Amino acid sequence: VIQTLKHVARLYTCTGSDPDDAGLIADAAIAWEGERICWVGPTAALPVEFDHAATDLSGKVCFLAPGLVDCHTHLAFGGWRADEFALRCRGATYQEIAAAGGGIASTVRKTRAAAEEELYAVARRRLRQMAALGVGTVECKSGYGLTVADELKLLRVYRRLGASTPMRIVSTVLGAHVVPPEYTQHRGDYVSLLTEELLPRVAAEGLAEFCDVFVEDGAFTSAEGRTILEAGKRLGLRPKLHVDQLHDGGGAVLAAEVGAISADHLEYTGPTGIAALARAGVVAVTLPLASLYLRQPPLDARPYQAAGVPVAVATDFNPGTAPCHSLPTALALACIMNRMTPAAALRGATQVAARALALHDVGTLAPRQRMNALLVEAPDVEHWLYRLADPPPARVWLGGRELAEAFPEDRGDAQTRTAF
Ligand SMILES: [Zn+2]
């Protein structure tokens, strides 16, 4: 069955390569059959075979955009860290909280204690909330287990979510998030556990496409990061990196040298790092919610764009430094904090974000692409992001079907309903 929308006031294809051009078509039409788009263009050029039974949106103030791609999340974890938020509000730093046994280590304790079923139920609810905001594709990292069994537990949650929902889930193994407390006196053994046990298991079971390392003081050194990522590459896991979040540790240069598909955070990356990313074709991922929560100087997207580095925008959704799963909010912040235009922000969470995940059939509205889309009742993306992404999308399509049909809200049992 072919479905068509016509006289859509504005449609952003997000094709092309100019960061500030979101591919606007005024008075647009789009047709799709099953999961795939078959035609996009001005309504005046809509072929007659797609026109019968078209939904006519004449006179409606709205725009249509590709389904959003959140290319950096830590979706599944045990518990929250609102207590630490209150401490940070009183002036404690991220490093001070981590040194006192809080931070990532506290989430690791709660994640290890949580059953796979519980992690699945909570993550599934979160995913449904993200879908309602127009997100159709989510990258999900492990990294709160930090044992072979607990990392595999998180990655199995992601595999189940991908199989049981219409969301496209892309999994990343982040066993190298921090050195777990039991290994702080012999960290080399933890690196060996990753390279000799965890990564081979993940690759053998097909549980992830990417391997990520947090290179930072208090996490992993550049040399350790290189060892882990090279081991992952030999197993077919493509590198990603969390780098230069708290200081310029040469992480962007490392990302270029190991051939990472993306380098994420980059709050403190300097001109040498930007030039290295440009030469190696690495996508820069900005995470403005994390910069905001940590009161960090945010990445300035303009030197990246000037150097030809594509800039993606993601939430970094996690219980510590970015406990907000709203990608539209991150887009508004990217405009305010990262100095991206609304068009560049939208491209950063569609076409560029898909590139950061090596996906070719999402992130644009074009023939043969998956019909993931959102319809927002605002005049254009400028009005929408200027208003901090208000209102939420009025309609969302996932694989050609509307949200309520494609991904019904979970009624679940009482425990699921009360999980926060
Ligand atoms: Zn992250």
pLDDT string in tens for the chain (420-residue length)? 999 999 999 999 999 999 999 999 999 999 999 999 999 999 999 999 999 889 999 999 999 999 999 999 999 999 999 999 999 999 998 889 988 888 888 999 999 999 999 999 999 999 999 999 999 999 999 999 999 999 999 999 999 999 999 999 999 999 999 999 999 999 999 999 999 999 999 999 999 999 999 999 889 999 999 999 999 999 999 999 999 988 888 999 999 999 999 999 999 999 999 999 999 999 999 999 999 998 989 999 999 999 999 999 999 999 999 999 999 999 999 999 999 999 999 999 999 999 999 999 999 999 999 999 999 999 999 999 999 999 999 999 999 999 999 999 877 655 555 566
Per-residue model confidence (pLDDT) at position 414: 52
CA of 301 to the centre of ligand 1 (A): 18
CA of 277 to the centre of ligand 1 (A): 19
CA of 316 to the centre of ligand 1 (A): 5
Per-residue model confidence (pLDDT) at position 413: 58
Give the chain's radius of gyration (CA, Å).
21
CA of 176 to the centre of ligand 1 (A): 12
CA of 215 to the centre of ligand 1 (A): 11
- CA dihedral of residues 246, 251, 253, 258 (deg, nearest 10): -160
CA of 150 to the centre of ligand 1 (A): 18
Q: pTM of this prediction?
A: 0.97
CA of 74 to the centre of ligand 1 (A): 6
Per-residue model confidence (pLDDT) at position 315: 98
- Tell me the C-alpha distance between 39 and 56, whole Å: 16
CA of 299 to the centre of ligand 1 (A): 15
CA of 138 to the centre of ligand 1 (A): 13
CA of 317 to the centre of ligand 1 (A): 7
Per-residue model confidence (pLDDT) at position 418: 56
Would you say 88 and 94 are in contact if contact means Cβ atoms under 8 Å apart?
Answer: yes
CA of 343 to the centre of ligand 1 (A): 24
- Tell me the C-alpha distance between 404 and 413, whole Å: 19
CA of 371 to the centre of ligand 1 (A): 28
CA of 3 to the centre of ligand 1 (A): 38
CA of 207 to the centre of ligand 1 (A): 19
Backbone angles phi, psi at 47, to 5 degrees: -60, 145
CA of 24 to the centre of ligand 1 (A): 31
CA of 377 to the centre of ligand 1 (A): 31
